[in-house]
Every structure is written in structure tokens, then in C-alpha cells.
Structure 1
Amino acid sequence: MTQNYCQAAVKMHARIKSRFCFLALCLPLFANAAADGSSAATFAKPHQQVDIGGRKINLYCSGQGATTVIFDSPAGDAGWNWFKVQPEVAKHARSCIYDRAGFGFSDSSPRPNTSENAVDDLHRALSAADIKPPYLLVGNSLGGSNVQVYTYRYPGEVKGLVLVEPQSEDETMRSNKASQGLLEKVYEMVKEHDKQCLQAATKGFTPRSNAAASCAGNPSQHFGPVLGKQVKAMMMTKSYWRTRVDEANAFATSNEQLRALRKPFGDLPLVVLTRGVSPYMDPSKPQSAVNKAMEDENEQIHKEIAALSTLGKQRVVPAASHGIQGDHPAAVTQAVVEVLDQISKCSNRLRCDGAPLARDVDGRVSP
């Protein structure tokens, strides 16, 4: 997703005279964060190109540790979305970003861009790259759905989760109800805008044209000049828009896939981060009752996800909107380090809550 989501929302905002500005779906998501050019540039080139059977998935890892942290990005974006968090986490553990099929430096897939297919790609890529579990999975928005699906599919591999403004299988329905149907209108407008961008990309964008400005925006102001240039280059391609439209069209299927797998996470270490700044309203105006209802519903959804684990925690990040990893990257890093610490306690023959495991008369650990 790109900055055109904001532009589409502004038009809808005027049309329906509501107090919404649909910033939640803007990419880059880093409205309050200027890029550090030196660190961001690392993500502007391909790294480990892993073959998963005729297609390549781009992986980048740094750092060392017993547990590997894997980041999954929001819809329509590549692994560089985590450029402010991945290097910080690498100071504590092996820290890896990857590009889903068709984004960044990964090849497109002939399969639909559903959560199940994204999880299958990631699992095969990690295996082919010899990146062994245990994993701590981190996901934002759609990436939050994907890492939950991965956890259900491969429970023996995942030892912890950090969910950053995650989607749930019922979020679209519940949030749209809270918005009194306005959110669905914005979604439809965004879908139409993306189709127009795909058509423009198929014909070929003219530099500095209205279409190029609408579809690609100016990523450099968020990512810095080097990475921003690469992000814009990706967003000027037909393959990017085809993948993005396909991924959006698969949202309902991805939701059904997560719903079919849904069950408690047991005592899996889990932190759910929730925005403290509404991305759905014009900040220059008072909060409307509808907007408050939407924000309350979003927080309730996240509380319910956290409650799926006996060790689940949900916390609000006051100074951040939907893209917490950009607005307040330290909060994400802190949550990851916290879960890493819990995982370490579990592996050191302690219960995941830090209490000693019970032992029978022979000294064996009881389940």
C-alpha cells in the first residue's frame, strides 16, 4: 500500500463529510519518522536470494542468537518496512526480514497471494536457507495475520509472537460495523484506485505525471534518498501493482484461512501492540463518536488476540498510529526483547512465566 491510500481517503473524506482521514493504509507508514539514510540503504538491494522451486525469495539476516526473529510486513509492502527495527533487534538476536512474493526483491508467484501461500513460501525459504527454528515471529497488519497462520501451521517452530496492529479474521466486518459502513466505502475506493494504478503501470508511467505521483508518491521523505529511490522504482512496475491488487483481492480468503485455524496459543509468549493515535480521523478536528467506536473496537480485537495465550499481553503505544514500527520503533524492539527473554526462560528449564518446572521423584520434569 502506498501514499495514494491517503489521497483516496481525503477524497472520500470530502465526499461523505465524515471525520476520517484513512491514514492506516498509507505506505510508507512512517508519517512521523524520517529515515536514517545510512541504515536504510542496507535494505535498498537484494541479499540472500533463496530458491524455493523455480522462484526466489529475498532474505536478509544479521545478528546472532539462539532464537531467530522473522519480520513480516503489512499488505503491499516489502521487508524494508522494518528498516528501523531490524538492526536494533539484531543487537539481541538473529534478525531477519524477507520480501513476500512479488514485493521488494522476491519473484512473483503464480499462486494467489493468500496468507497460506505466503506462509508456505516463508517456510520453504527458511528451510532452503538453513535458517533453523526456534523462531520469534513479528508481523504488522496483514503480516500479523500471516505470522499467526504460520504459528498454527508449524507450532513446533514458533516460540513467541509480537503482533503489531495485527489484522484478525473478523476485523474488517467488526471495524466496518463500528464505522457505520463508512470504512467499506473507503476500501472500495482504494481498490478502484489500485486498479487504475495497475492499468497505468501496464501502459507505463510517465515520470512526474499525475498518475506517477498518485500511485508512487514520494517515498524518499520517509525512507531517505537511497531506499526511497528503490521503493519508488518498485512502485512504478506492473508486477508490483498486479501483486498488490491480487493480495488485496485475497484478503477475504486469507481471513477465512486464519479463521479455520483459530484456537488458543497455550502459553506461547505473546505481545500485541495497539496504536494510540487514530489513523482514521482528521487530527485538526475533535474525535467523532464513530471514530471513538472504531478505535475502541480495534483495541478490543487486540485484547482478544492477546487473551489467546495465557502469557499474552496487549499494550497501547501512545505516540504511534497503525505503523508502530515507523512511528515508535523502540516500542517494537522492546516488545521483541521482552519475548526473547521469556523464550530464554522457557528453554532454561523454567516455565514460560519464569516459575520452576515441577519435578517427579526421579528428578524428571513433569509436563
Structure 2
Amino acid sequence: MRIVLLVILVLAGAWATAAVATEAFSRWHKPRGQMIDIGGRSLRLVCMGPKSERPVIWMEAGAFSGAADFGAIQQKLAARGLRSCAYDRAGMAYSDPGPRPRDGDAITTDLEALIARSGEAGPFVFMGHSMAGLYVRQYAARHPDQVVGLVLLDAVTPEMVGLPGAQRLIDGMTTFARVAAATGSLGLTKPLYFLGDRIGLPPEAKTEKRRGFISGRQSRNALAEVLGWRTAVDQAAAPLDPAWPVAVITAGPESPRMDMWNAVRHAPARDARHGRIENIEQATHTTMLGLVHGDRAVAGVEFVLEKAGR
């Protein structure tokens, strides 16, 4: 018994030491971008690429993260002379928390304030990954005059929630988010710092992604967003303007189950006058954003700009 207790104490000590070390290391890094005051609180905004007459690509990250997710794609866009802006939603990464609930209305209202204060002129190409497909869609419905077109990356649509198995998936993600919020708040995720980037990001974005991965505050705010998903679905139900060019890019090997999901994901491109659909079979839901596969998202942007005459 004494040996068992000794082993437990040694392991606990090593875990605590690793937690302290990774926390100190992650805080040493200065984040990219700037903090934008949206009215008593600030959101972190990262814009890259030269300013020009061409539309800015405005990016909305999926669940559990923020601007860091688009580090590779922003780098690739800048290399082509295109300007892009990504940000951390309230309570995510470096941004201040926002009022609850964190549903589509709250997120879209924050985005409205951020764009208005960003100094970036529209109209924009909006890019959304995963659950951000809902937020991009809601923003576009509110501000159709600001939309050049859409690039949707494995993006959720309101119709997906009605598919078989969707509720089970939401329930599973909710459970995962609750566990992540609890373990993150207790500091139990900190020694896992180096596992935080599953995208394949450039160095600075990789550091930011890893820092968010071990953040208890971020995990709690991510849970708040997950709890607002059902409401966000209803809030994003407005149809898209078929005049907007739409590029839909999905990831993963084909299968009967994925065919069912993708049939709904593809709908915004099918319903547009100018639509592009592509699947990256070798990519995953996360690596489609990275240095290896991110060129496909850039190609989607170029398609939208071409069809919009920009």
C-alpha cells in the first residue's frame, strides 16, 4: 500500500510540475493581432495580407477555438495578395467573455460590433468552419449588403440537425464539452499542452492553439456555446441569397453516412447560381485547415471572388 501511495504521489507531483511549466510557457508567447473594444469588452482580431480594393475574407472558427485555427489559411491567402481577418469569439483564446447565453444572436451581435470597429471595409467573403456555418449564415441574413460570397468548410447547416443521428451527436458533444470544462477548470489538461494542435498550423498559431487547448476559461466558454447550439440552429434558418457564390469544401473518405451528411452540407452550393463542391478525402475535419490541405480553402475563396467579379 505504501508503494502504491508513493507512486501516486510521484505521479501527482510530476503532473503538477508539468502543469505549472506548460502554463508558464504558454503565457510567455505574445498573441498576434490586436484587441478591439466592442463596447466595454474586447475581442482579439488577427488580420493578415495587404489592404486593397479586393474583398477581405472574414473567418469564423468552429467550436472550442478561435483565430488560431485559420493561421495556415491566412498565411496562404496573404501569399496570394489577399487580406483576411479571423477573431476569437467572446471568452475564447484571448477575447474577453461575453454575456450569456452564447447563442447565435449573441455571437452575431458581437461580430457586428467587431466588424464596425475593425477598420476593415466590406463587402466581405465569409468563411465558416464546422458550427460556424450557422453563425456565418445568420450574419449574412442580417447584412446581405456586406456579403460577396461564402466559403463553407465542413460547415453545419440548420437542416443537418434534423438528420438521423444528429441529436446523438449533439448530446455526445455536449457531454464532451462538460467534461472538458470540468477538467480544464481543475488544470488537468495543462500537461497535454503539446497535443493541442491537430490542424497542422504555422508556429505562432500553433502556440496560440495549444494555449487555448489547456485553458479552463476557454473550455467553460466553449461549453456555453455548445449549450446554445440548438437555439443557434433556429436563429440561422433564413435561406441564403442564390446570387452569392458559394464554395463548399468537406473532408474525409466517402461512406454512406458521410454521403448523408454531405448531401445537406452541399446544399448551399447546389442552390447557388455559382456553386463549387469539393471533398478532400485525405483530410480530416481539423487538418483541412492546416498547412497541408489549406490550399483547398484558398481555392474556394478564389472561386467565389472570380464568380463575383472581384
TM beyond 0.5: yes
* Structure 1 equivalent of residue 209 of structure 2: 231
Unmatched tracts of structure 2, length 5 or more = 1-28
In the TM superposition, residue 52 of structure 1 has moved relative to its aligned partner by: 0.5
Letter in 1 for 2:183: A
* 307 and 189 in structure 1: CA distance in 2 versus 1, 3 angstrom threshold: closer
Match of 2:152, SS state, is strand
Counterpart-to-counterpart distance in 1, 2:185 and 2:279: 41
What CA deviation, in whole Å up to 9, does each residue of 1:309-352 have, x standing for no partner?
2122222233323232225111111111121222335xxxxxxx
1:309 aligns with 2:272: yes
* 226 and 59 in structure 1: CA distance in 2 versus 1, 3 angstrom threshold: closer
Counterpart-to-counterpart distance in 2, 1:137 and 1:243: 23
Counterpart-to-counterpart distance in 1, 2:259 and 2:154: 13
* Structure 2 equivalent of residue 123 of structure 1: 112
Paired residues in the alignment total 276
* Structure 2 equivalent of residue 109 of structure 1: 98
* Structure 2 equivalent of residue 334 of structure 1: 299
| Kept after mapping to 2: 8 A contact 1:44/1:227 | no
Q: How does 1:180-191 map to 2 (within 5 A)?
A: 181=165, 184-185=167-168, 187-191=170-174
Q: How does the TM-score come out when normalised to structure 1? A: 0.69
Match of 1:166, SS state, is coil
Q: How does the TM-score come out when normalised to structure 2? A: 0.80
What CA deviation, in whole Å up to 9, does each residue of 1:197-226 have, x standing for no partner?
322333343753xxxx4xx66125744665
Counterpart-to-counterpart distance in 1, 2:71 and 2:189: 29
* Structure 1 equivalent of residue 74 of structure 2: 86
* Structure 2 equivalent of residue 195 of structure 1: 178
Letter in 2 for 1:235: F
* 157 and 193 in structure 1: CA distance in 2 versus 1, 3 angstrom threshold: closer
Corresponding residue to 1:65 among 32, 52, 60: 52
| Kept after mapping to 1: 8 A contact 2:65/2:212 | no
In the TM superposition, residue 72 of structure 1 has moved relative to its aligned partner by: 0.8
* Structure 2 equivalent of residue 270 of structure 1: 246
Match of 1:120, SS state, is helix
* Structure 1 equivalent of residue 225 of structure 2: 247
1:320 aligns with 2:307: no
* Structure 2 equivalent of residue 23 of structure 1: none
Corresponding residue to 2:188 among 191, 205, 209: 205
In the TM superposition, residue 192 of structure 1 has moved relative to its aligned partner by: 2.5
* Structure 2 equivalent of residue 10 of structure 1: none
* Structure 1 equivalent of residue 156 of structure 2: 167
In the TM superposition, residue 306 of structure 1 has moved relative to its aligned partner by: 1.3
| Kept after mapping to 1: 8 A contact 2:72/2:201 | no
| Kept after mapping to 2: 8 A contact 1:113/1:246 | yes
Letter in 1 for 2:51: Q
Question: Between the two proteins, what is the percent identity of the paired residues?
Answer: 22
Unmatched tracts of structure 1, length 5 or more = 1-42, 279-291, 346-367
